[in-house]
Amino acid sequence: MAERPLSPHLSVYRMHRYTLLTSILNRVTGLALAAGLILLIYWLMAAASGPGAYAQAESVFALWIFKAIFLVLLAVFSYHLCAGVRHLVWDTGSGLERAQSRASAYLVLGASAVLFVGLACWLLIRVLA
């Protein structure tokens, strides 16, 4: 007899469900933040290497493409922070009922949006001032 086929999984499961959506977003934002660390390390190394290297790093980061990347990273950070708090609460054994986890999924999405807009406005005001 031929080997049994494996039933479809990712291709049939409803991926925009609140459970999967928040979990996958948490993973992806975690990866993006880790990638973003490379930029931070570059900046720190430049700062440690002397004024010349630091000035060069500043001019690189002044490019609009890096400003766009930092804006995305700010959104990513906002989500990952809020989702992380949700996981911390879960680890205490609370908030795990179906209705609670559904509510906290939307709470995390809303709170991270508010946090992102707040941080972005704060940075904009500081840059303009």
Partner 1 sequence: MAEFRLPANSRIVGGVTHKAPQGARDVRTVHIYRFDPDSGENPRVDTFELDAAECGQMVLDVLIRIKDSRDASLTFRRSCREGICGSCAMNINGVNRLACITSLRDLGPQIRIYPLPHMPVVKDLVPDLTTFYAQYASVKPWLMAQTPAPPDGERLQSKAEQEQIDRPAACILCACCSTACPSYWWNSDRYLGPAALLAAYRWIIDSRDEATGERLDALEDPFRLYRCHTIMNCTDVCPKDLNPAKAIAEIKKMLVQRQS
Regarding 34 and contact with partner 1 (CB under 8 A), the answer is no
Residue the block writes with tokens 């939307």: 106
- Residue 73: count of CB within 10 angstroms of its CB: 19
- Residue 52: count of CB within 10 angstroms of its CB: 9
Regarding 88 and contact with partner 1 (CB under 8 A), the answer is no
**Left (φ > 0), alpha (ψ -120 to 50) or beta: where does 54 sit?**
alpha
> Shortest distance, CB of residue 116 to partner 1, whole angstroms?
23
Between 30 and 74, name the residue whose CB sits nearer to partner 1.
30
Span interacting with partner 1, options 15-23, 46-54, 106-114, 116-124, rule CB under 8 A: 15-23
> Shortest distance, CB of residue 81 to partner 1, whole angstroms?
17
Q: CA-CA distance, 121 to 112, in Å (whole number)?
A: 14
Regarding 10 and contact with partner 1 (CB under 8 A), the answer is yes
Regarding 2 and contact with partner 1 (CB under 8 A), the answer is yes
Q: Which two tokens stand for residue 86?
A: 């949700």
> Shortest distance, CB of residue 22 to partner 1, whole angstroms?
8
Q: CA-CA distance, 26 to 105, in Å (whole number)?
A: 11
Are 84 and 37 within 8 A, CB to CB? no
Span interacting with partner 1, options 3-11, 29-37, 70-78, 117-125, rule CB under 8 A: 3-11
Which residues are at the interface with partner 1 (CB under 8 A)? 1-15, 17-20, 23, 87, 90-93, 96-98, 101-102
